[in-house]
Amino acid sequence: MVKIKMVVHGLLLPLAAGSTFMTVNTAVRSATAAEEPKAGDACTAADLGKRHPFIKSAVTDPTITHFKGYYITDGSTGSQTVTMSIQTVVTVEVGGTTQISSGFSVGALFKVEAFVNRTVKKSTATTNAQSQTITWNFLKPGYYGLYQGTSKVTGVYGSLNCGRVDLGDGRFATRWIERPGGTYTTFSTIEEGAVRCEDKVPAGSIMSKAQKVLGCTGAPAQAPQAPAPAAKSPTGSVAAPAALPPGFTCLPGYYRIATPDRLLFWWNADGTAEFRLHAWAKSTRVQWQVCQGPTTNGMVEHVFLTRQSKKCLTLKAADAPTENALFFEDGCRTVDDGQRFYVYQDVPGTNLVGLQNKMSGFMIGQERVTDNETVRQYSMGRPDGTGTYVLEPLP
C-alpha cells in the first residue's frame, strides 16, 4: 500500500453575520444520490477523482455602470436622448480567471444564482465599457440622474474533494472534505432609468444607488470609478538545478499509475511529451518516482517524475484554466505549481487515489478508458468515476 501523508481540514464552515453577507452552515450529514455533496458526507473510491464547488458567502451590491446628471426645465419636458458616461465595469470572474469555460466555474456560478435567489451571469461576460445613450420621456422639470446599473454579486466559493479521513481508534473512511477555493464576481440583469432626489425608491435598490451618485440626501456625488487593473499573470517559473525540486524527497523504489482494473497504465508516449494509457510492459516509460514535499493548504505536495527521462508531470501555465488540457513531461522546476499535485487516498488496504493539480485545482482523468487515450485535466473530474487510479509500487 502506498504510504502518503495527508492532513484533513475541519469539516464545518464558520458562520458570519451581516445585512448583505450570507454564509452557509455545512453540517455533517449523509448524502443521497439526489443531493449535492456537503463537507463530511460519505463518498466512495469512485469519487476520489472528482471535485465539486460550493458557495461560502455572497455579497449583493447595487452598482451603477453608467450615469448622467441632467437638468430638465419647464420648456424641455418630453422625450429626450441622453448620453451617459461610464462609472465602472463589472466582469464575471471565478478564481482569478475571466474565461468562464470550465464545468467547475459554470457550476459555481449556478450555485451562486441559487444562493442569492436571483438570475446572474454564468458565462464569460462584462458590462459595457463604452458610453451609453438612453431615451427617456421626462414628464416634469427637475434635476434627474439617468443611470444604467446592475446588482454585482461577489463572494467566496470552496471546493470539495473525496479523501481519506482518520476517524480514530484505527478506523478510516472516505469523506467529502473542504479544500481551497477562491473568490468570484458576477452580476445580474442590467437596469436603466431616471430618478430625482425627491422620488421615493426602495432602500438598497439600484435606483437608490443612482440617487447617491446624483448627490441626494446630502451625500456628495460619486466620481466615476476607473476599471480595476487586470491581475498580472505569475512570472515564469524558475528551473531547478537538479531533476528533483529542492524540498522534495522521493519514496523508495518506483511506482506505476493505472486504471483500477490494472489493464491500462500511464505511459510517456513514444516520440512526444504527452502521457497516454497503454497496457503494461517492462519499460521505464511506465515507471514513476513519487516524491513528497511541503504541506500546503493542509495537504502534502507531490511531484511525479518519469524514470526514463527524470522529467516531471506538468500542466503548462497557459493551459491552467482550460478544460480537457493535456499533461506533458517537462524539466522539473524549483517553483512551478503546474508540477505539484495533491493525492486523495482511499481507505487503507487499497491503493486507489485521485490526483489534483495544485495550479489549476483540476482533477486528472481521460475522455475514455481505452488504449492510447491521453491524460488530461477536468475541472470537476470525470463524472463516471474514471478519474480514480491505482498508485502502487512496482510488483
CA 268 vs CA 244, 260, 374: distances in Å = 18, 19, 10
Res 4: pLDDT: 52
Helix, strand, coil share of the chain (percent; to 5): 10, 40, 50
Structural domains present in the chain? 21-218 (no CATH), 238-393 (2.80.10.50)
What is the pLDDT of the chain when averaged over all its residues?
87
Position of cell 451562486? 112
Res 222: pLDDT: 52
Position of cell 494509457? 277
Name residue 6's beta-bridge partners: 299
181 has pLDDT over 90: yes
Res 268: pLDDT: 86
d(CA 225, CA 232): 20
pLDDT tens-digit map of 64-80: 999 999 999 988 999 99
How much of the chain, in percent, has pLDDT values that exceed 90? 80
More confident: 225 or 166: 166
Confidence band for 20, pLDDT divided at 50, 70 and 90: very low
Res 287: pLDDT: 96
